[in-house]
């Protein structure tokens, strides 16, 4: 929408593969919807960049759209699961949607990979240049993975098409970061008040901070997205790493320590001065020194921006949601930082304490028979029921659950995490925070 202020050539055609709800809501409002910025100074803007709205029943129109030479850029937001990838990041050729799509080129695709390949095949047959593909889901190295998935899908159907995609199609890695809570009744009331009583059935809300990092590979992108705030860089991985370790690592720390200290949301936990100071120190002393420099990104400024975002009273981000799936998240959010520091000969006391809080959280849930949301919940709670922090830490490290493989052999780190878990379990917060700084 901001791009249209100085370059009116562009517009968005929205395609929903599964549901008509948003598509129908947009169509009923001529494509207009309200963006509510939830910040200390809330603001509302009517967005008018959408030109077409296609749902799952409009397959012929979607095929024609993807084949249209005027379409230069295809962005995808389908969640990580929507790409039908196997655990190793390659296309899962046994996935039911992929199997369905490979049965017949004329079938209506069920997968986003199938749709993109169908569009590319039509363009190749017509002698039309391929569009650029920007996957925008939270998937590390998403450009490389989706490109490989497109080639693998095409190769299962047509070797020459696969070779053409591999040689000509530009699929770029991206990173998108902006907290976007689901629409709720409060949003509807606030938007109606801002619009003089008009109802908006498609309103969305997000925080003021927004970051869209796009891989710059020297090839033309089409719209000048950099002119409206997107960051083009050859090092998307550096931005991903910084976000994962700084923002997500701090989020997980706030979740486990905050829940143990009786808090419910990120903003509430950040009003706990002792906890907020601990998280700030963790980023400054343990995380940033273990990160490689990222061209174009000031890590200290990013740290300050992250902490400001966490304090935002307009965003209610529940700690119990962030605490979910710790066994899957923590190896990358905190484990990589622990490993990098240990490789440099340092003991990162704040990260050690954060991992100790996770273990204390597990013990607290286990001894009260409180369920947790985690794919390894049964095993985690089974280990944690032992109650002894040192023994629980040792067992989790040995099985590499929540830890990086290899850390089990770091006796000093395992012992330090066990000690931190004991302090967190017993509510010895002053001692825990002091030990982190020693």
Q: Are residues 207 and 223 in the same domain?
A: yes
Mean pLDDT, rounded, for 392-409: 93
Mean pLDDT, rounded, for 288-297: 94
Task: Return the pLDDT at 253.
Answer: 99
Q: Are residues 297 and 357 in the same domain?
A: yes
Mean pLDDT, rounded, for 351-375: 97
Percentage, residues of the chain above pLDDT 90: 92
Task: Return the pLDDT at 41.
Answer: 86
Structural domains in the chain (count): 2
* Alpha carbon of residue 257 to chain centroid: 22
Residue pointed to by tokens 């825990």: 432
Q: 405: pLDDT confidence band, cut at 50, 70 and 90?
A: confident
Q: Are residues 35 and 93 in the same domain?
A: yes
Mean pLDDT, rounded, for 310-317: 91
Percentage, residues of the chain above pLDDT 70: 100
Task: Return the pLDDT at 239.
Answer: 96
Instruction: List the structure tokens of 433.
Output: 């925070």
Task: Return the pLDDT at 259.
Answer: 99
Q: Are residues 101 and 32 in the same domain?
A: yes
For residue 12, list its beta bridge partners: 50
Mean pLDDT of the chain: 95
Residues 181-203: pLDDT tens digits? 888 899 999 999 999 999 999 99
Whether pLDDT at 289 is above 90? yes
Of the residues 213, 233, 253, the one at which a domain ends: 233
Measured CA to CA, the distance from residue 286 to residue 437 in angstroms comes to 10
Q: Are residues 157 and 272 in the same domain?
A: no
Q: Are residues 151 and 55 in the same domain?
A: yes
Mean pLDDT, rounded, for 376-399: 96
Residues 7-48: pLDDT tens digits? 999 999 999 999 999 999 999 999 999 999 998 889 999 999
Whether pLDDT at 417 is above 90? yes
pTM: 0.86
State the CATH number of the domain containing residue 274. 1.10.1040.10
Residues 51-80: pLDDT tens digits? 999 999 999 999 999 999 999 999 999 988
What is the β-pairing status of strands 231-233 and 211-215?
parallel
What residue numbers bound the domain in which 325 lies? Answer: 236-437
Task: Return the pLDDT at 80.
Answer: 86
Of the residues 204, 233, 262, the one at which a domain ends: 233
State the CATH number of the domain containing residue 200. 3.40.50.720
Q: 123: pLDDT confidence band, cut at 50, 70 and 90?
A: very high
């Amino acid at each position: 929408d901001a791009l249209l202020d100085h370059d009116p050539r562009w517009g968005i055609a929205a395609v929903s593969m599964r549901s008509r709800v948003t598509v129908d809501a947009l169509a009923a409002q001529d494509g207009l919807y309200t963006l509510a910025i939830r910040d200390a100074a809330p603001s509302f803007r009517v967005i008018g960049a959408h030109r077409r709205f296609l749902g799952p029943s409009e397959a012929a129109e979607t095929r024609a759209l993807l084949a249209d030479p005027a379409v230069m850029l295809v962005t995808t937001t389908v969640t990580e699961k929507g790409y039908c990838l196997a655990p190793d990041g390659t296309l899962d050729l046994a996935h039911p949607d992929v199997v369905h799509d490979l049965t017949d080129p004329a079938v209506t695709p069920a997968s986003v990979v199938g749709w993109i390949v169908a569009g590319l095949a039509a363009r190749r047959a017509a002698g039309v240049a391929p569009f650029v593909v920007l996957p925008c889901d939270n998937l590390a190295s998403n450009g490389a993975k989706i490109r490989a998935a497109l080639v693998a899908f095409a190769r299962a159907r047509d070797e020459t098409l696969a070779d053409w995609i591999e040689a000509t199609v530009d699929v770029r890695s991206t990173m998108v970061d902006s907290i976007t809570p689901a629409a709720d009744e409060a949003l509807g009331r606030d938007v109606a008040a801002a619009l003089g009583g008009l109802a908006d059935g498609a309103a969305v809300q997000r925080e003021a901070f927004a970051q869209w990092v796009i891989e710059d590979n020297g090839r033309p992108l089409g719209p000048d997205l950099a002119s409206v705030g997107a960051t083009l860089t050859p090092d998307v991985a550096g931005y991903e790493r910084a976000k994962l370790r700084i923002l997500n690592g701090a989020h997980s720390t706030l979740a486990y320590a905050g829940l143990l200290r009786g808090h419910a949301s990120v903003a509430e936990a950040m009003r706990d001065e002792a906890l907020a100071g601990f998280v700030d120190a963790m980023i400054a002393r343990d995380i940033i020194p273990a990160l490689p420099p990222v061209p174009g990104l000031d890590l200290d400024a990013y740290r300050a921006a992250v902490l400001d975002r966490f304090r935002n009273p307009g965003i209610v981000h529940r700690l119990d949601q962030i605490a979910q799936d710790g066994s899957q998240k923590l190896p990358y959010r905190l484990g990589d930082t622990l490993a990098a520091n240990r490789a440099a000969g340092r003991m990162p006391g704040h990260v050690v304490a954060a991992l100790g809080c996770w273990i204390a959280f597990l013990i607290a849930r286990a001894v009260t028979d409180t369920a947790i949301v985690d794919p390894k919940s049964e095993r985690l709670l089974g280990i944690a029921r032992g109650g002894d922090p040192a023994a629980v830490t040792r067992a989790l490290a040995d099985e590499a659950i929540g830890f990086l493989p290899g850390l089990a052999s770091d006796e000093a780190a395992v012992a330090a995490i066990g000690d931190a878990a004991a302090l967190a379990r017993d509510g010895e917060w002053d001692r825990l925070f002091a030990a982190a700084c020693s």
